[in-house]
Chains A and B, each alone.
Chain A
Amino acid sequence: MTSTLPVSRRSFLRVTAIAGGGMLIASYVQPIADLAALTGSLEDFTPNAFIKIGADGSVTITAKNPEIGQGVKTMLPMIIADELGVDWKAVKVEQGLFDPVAYGRQAAGGSTATPTNWDNHRRVGAAARQMLIAAAALTWGTPADECSAASGIVTHRPSGRKLTYGALAAKAATLAVPDLATVTLKDPKDFTIIGTPQKGVDTPSIVTGKPIFSIDVKVPGMLFAVFQKCPVFGGKVKSANLDVVTAQPGVKHAFVVEQVGTSLGGLLGGVAVVADSWWLAKQAREKLEVTWDEGPTASHSSVEYARKAAELAQGPAARSLRKDGDVDAALKGAAKTVEAAYFYPFLSHATLEPQNCTASFSNGKLELWAPTQTPANGRQLVAQALGIAETDITIHLVRGGGGFGRRLSNDYLVEAAWIAKTIGVPVKLLWTREDDMAHDFYRPAGFHFFKGGVDGEGKIIAWRHHFVTFGEGDRPGSSAGIQPTEFPSRFIPNFELGTSFLPLGVPTGALRAPGSNGLAFVFHSFIDELAHAAGKDPVQFRLDLLGDPRMVAEPDGRAGYDAARARGVLEDVAEKSGWGRRKVPKGSGLGVAFHFSHLGYFAEVVEVTVVDAAVKVNKVWVVGDIGSQVINPLNAEHQAQGGALDGLSEAMGQEITIENGRAVQTNFHEYPLLRHTQAPPVEVHFRVTNNPPTGLGEPALPPVIPALCNAIFAATGKRVRSLPLSKEGFRWA
């Protein structure tokens, strides 16, 4: 994925004195005039503060984004705290409410937290520091530039006088607010928190079993709900034995819910069962018998998709996305040509905490507690479905037991909200694992048909790519598209990319490193095939493909791909893994791949030993370039390791198959996650380059899949063109 993130929103600071002599620093992303319009009157507005400094010197920093295990609740406050000039151990972090007026974009997705907040969070912290210094200078009657701040204390350097932030907060709150755009930032060499390893702020609560997850939320008087939807996506209830279900022990309500609108991402039809406990609701549902109108997609199946894709591959692509040079002529003149068909399956997100949401509706106001990754979308969806104003909805962001993109969709929020509004009592909706696997927004399966050619010197001169994916009209399904700028486009002189669509019927969505998690596999596997056809070393072949270290962009400057950064991580990972310098025993092999996604460049090497199709991954090496600063190295290493292991997990055993319009797999016995004994060591390095810092939840995942498959080829001579590996006869050793 070659997206860029413009950060153009103008922020404003507002500082308020708080009772007892503290100060509160809030940032607004809209002009004050808009604020007044939104809230009725400015006086009524209780801002969500980024920073609270108490008269006792206590410092509270708000974490604004949803935390789903990516470490953002720790990382974003670290940025503010460093610029503010306090010690990290003195900081208390609080999760912010959903309040986009105060915080701007609040979302977990696309590895965007770092690139979109790095600069803004530094400025908020620096502005507060500047005001505290100004307050001290005023107290002493000295110039502000004779004062400096660190560890929550302002020091007048010539005289050595000191005042704490706590003592200065009341006065600082009365001062003019500096312009965020011109505030002086720290020199990165003076960072005291950014770049230091810091533990997750919730780690102590997690290891002592505190109820901090969405599934733990308790609201006084709440009931518990399960919701049965049609196993065929978007199917409707024709009839249901509600009387039987209502008569079950503990059941308070059982009712039919009609679909609202036509989107598979909104409220779908089904039967809600509400009881005194979740277990009773679930037990009662086992007695539920529904006659469904399964709708037009009940005939869809994975087998049929594959048959149609192969048929479409016989003809030209329905739409051309890119055409450079003359592929036919280049193929004719090529020294060697290779033709290959690749496939990857639908995948489920399988967050370990199933979808759940607690909702309370009274007096026209709705309150939600949810692990959503996109509260703004969630609020909009719920407001539309329930016919209430967005301003009447409060969303509490509760720690999610994993996200991986599943909670970008807010279907479970709207279900909980609907049930709460219907019964007028607070309710917790909790899905079973089986509900979760049956009703996901799956990583779309993809069918890729390639023809490539290399010249006598072993350079790729021709590349034709027909991608059969899912879509309607001219629009691909969610996360089922491809950019015409996706590498290796622009690095091969004769290049064609086109797509054809299979009909939509399975809801699809973003899974960790969307697009890239499948594309990296097919591109770097096929590039590997061409390397072997050319008789070249796979690393050298890729370096030759990248060519000179330069920026490659569209004529208008869009979609830049930095060949220097890609080369950098590739050369480093070859070096770290001992590529070409180590002899591996027979039956073992090394594979390599690199990928650019979510603004990060990652190259990875996997070493495997394969005995009778039993694959042991001996080690994975990861080199990433996420810019000039790794903000929290302790978490960064862990995210990169998790991403790489997640990729191995997907590659070996995971597939959602569709039969009769519904998902076949129901739980982890059919959808295996990697286990302890299967997890190899993952060595992680970051290459520091002079680029803005970027995010890390996703970009470490994509390259590991082709690196694994290329290693299997090196070890066995068997080229893997279809995932999962388990369907190709492989298993973990």
Chain B
Amino acid sequence: MAQCGACTVQLNGVATRACQTPVSSVGNAAITTIEGLSPDGSHPVQRAWMELDVPQCGYCQAGQIMAASALLAKKPRPSEADIDEAMNGNLCRCATYLRIREGIHRAVQLAATGGAR
């Protein structure tokens, strides 16, 4: 497993594949799923994703958003290389990669102009 990244969640803010993480191994670490990112879709990454209409089928997007938001939490102004490194494990069968990258850049802007969490 750990092939596609669609199940990505955050453990203490670090992007983690849920499919290869037994609950017993989590201990006291905080698990954040997409539902926990923001209750109303107000996280800058979610707002950027809506603004650019990033999803096609949408199946991978929870994982993409969790990977992108973990990246931005660590590096609020990521370089292209940072994005490559953080996102390359998340596959998108519909190949929405161009809008995902654009979405990350847009989220950086949105976070900078308020709406950061």
Contacts and interface: CB of A to CB of B under 8 A. Distances in A.
Nearest to A649: B95
Interface string A621-635: 000000000000011
Given A199-B50, A351-B93, A668-B4, A207 B98 contact: no
B4 A352 contact: yes
B97 A674 contact: yes
A208 B46 contact: yes
A401 B3 contact: no
A673 B40 contact: no
Interface in B21-49: 33-35, 37-38, 40-41, 46, 49
B90 interface: yes
Contacts of B70: none
A726 B20 CA distance: 29
B49 A203 contact: yes
Interface string A117-161: 000000000000000000000000000000000000000000000
B100 interface: yes
A675 B91 contact: yes
A638 interface: yes
A202 interface: yes
Contact of B40 (A208, A352, A646, A669): A208
A679 B95 contact: yes
A206 B53 CA distance: 10
A285 interface: no
B41 A208 contact: yes
A202 B49 CA distance: 12
Contacts of A679: 95, 97-98
A638 B96 contact: yes
Contacts of A667: 3
B83 A676 contact: yes
A256 to B, nearest CB: 28
B10 interface: no
Contact of B97 (A200, A400, A676): A676
B98 A681 contact: yes
Contacts of A522: none
Interface residues of A, number: 46
Interface string A389-416: 0000000000111111000000000000
Nearest to B48: A207
Contacts of B33: 209
A353 interface: yes
A68 interface: yes
B72 interface: no
Interface in B81-111: 83-84, 87-88, 90-101
A682 B91 contact: no
Given A676-B83, A676-B87, A642 B61 contact: no
A653 interface: no
B58 A204 contact: no
Contacts of A206: 55, 58, 61-62
B15 interface: no
Which of B3, B34, B97 lies at the interface centre, i.e. has the most chain A CB atoms within 10 A of its CB? Answer: B97
B57 A676 contact: no
A676 B35 contact: no
A350 B50 contact: no
Contacts of B65: 207
A675 B100 CA distance: 12
Given A204-B50, A401-B58, A677-B88, A682 B34 contact: no
A402 B94 contact: yes
A205 to B, nearest CB: 8
Contacts of A677: 84, 88
B66 to A, nearest CB: 9
Contacts of B34: 207-209
B50 A203 contact: yes
Contact of B98 (A350, A353, A641): A641
A213 B95 CA distance: 18
A519 B101 CA distance: 32
Contacts of B53: 199-200, 203, 634-635, 638
19 contacts: A68-B57, A69-B57, A199-B53, A202-B58, A203-B54, A207-B54, A207-B65, A208-B34, A208-B35, A209-B62, A212-B58, A351-B93, A353-B59, A399-B58, A641-B95, A642-B96, A673-B91, A674-B97, A679-B95
Interface of B: 3-4, 6, 33-35, 37-38, 40-41, 46, 49-50, 53-62, 65, 83-84, 87-88, 90-101
